[in-house]
Chains A and B, each alone.
Chain A
């Protein structure tokens, strides 16, 4: 079946460090690709998305590029802040619903 593999956490970084969270998906069909974020005590919210190959999604300084050749959608940010501490979920959209990755917990230390 459809699946997604996501970098295991937790990831601990110092403020202003560079962040990469890897995500790869199974290449069944041509899914749209999403990153959702869950801040402590809050519900999931959309961070960014890309709907076709080579599209780049971006929001709040985060970016991810839809790489069809490597079936990847890695999340990056050049300089993380303490407020970025959260759990990040990679989520391909297959058919009519999402397949969520297990989540990567990010802790950013001041």
Chain B
């Protein structure tokens, strides 16, 4: 299979604090990982593309200093929401591709972030 895990599944934090979300590919090496955000009844919005060992590529309108992405190894990418505000509350989902010639994406179960 191709299993992607995310941790934590749910997190509640206070305004102004930072939250780190981990995304791991458990049984394959992911050269590319993606971070999405999803609002209720809306589609997935791509935030950034993360390649192992290089800087993430952010989509237009996504603040790279606010959403820090690190892809330190072929099986781990992290998203840190810095100085979180209530409007950052959302469902964050990561996905991974097995290799550069493989186009299917395998998604994590998502992380529900609530900022109070």
A binds B: no
- Interface residues of chain B, those whose CB is within 8 Å of chain A, are none
